[in-house]
Amino acid sequence: MDDDLFQFPIIGWEVKAEPVEGLLSVRFPFLSHEQQKLAEADPGRPYIMQAEQARELRDALSRAIDRIENHEFTSALCIW
């Protein structure tokens, strides 16, 4: 398995919606080294997306979860 997948494990997520502007913001706090305490986690960057992009991300995550659950291991999927 590729070690890069586990270099910066996320410890949660923060999602905010701006209904007036039709935008969502998502942030993934993460640990940057093995000895780092949860309270010292890097807050991560805010990533802004439109609602349609969020739906596409949701669908991509669902497909990836399905592949994991069905033991269909493939390389990383990127859409941009």
Q: What is the pLDDT of residues 10-63, one digit of tens each?
A: 999 999 999 999 999 999 999 998 899 999 999 999 999 999 999 999 999 999
The kind and range of the H/E element at 56 are helix 51-69
**In which domain, by residue range, is 13 found?**
3-69
Is residue 77 in a domain? no
Strand order in the sheet with 23-27: 14-18, 23-27, 46-50
Q: Count structural domains, the chain.
A: 1
Mapping DSSP to helix (H, G, I), strand (E, B) and coil, where does residue 74 land?
Answer: coil
Q: Tell me what pLDDT residue 3 has.
A: 60
Q: How confident is the model at residue 71 (pLDDT cuts 50, 70, 90)?
A: confident
Is residue 31 in a domain? yes
Q: Tell me what pLDDT residue 7 has.
A: 84
Is residue 74 in a domain? no
Closest alpha carbon to 32 in 13, 12, 6: 6
Is residue 47 in a domain? yes
Is residue 49 in a domain? yes
Is residue 51 in a domain? yes
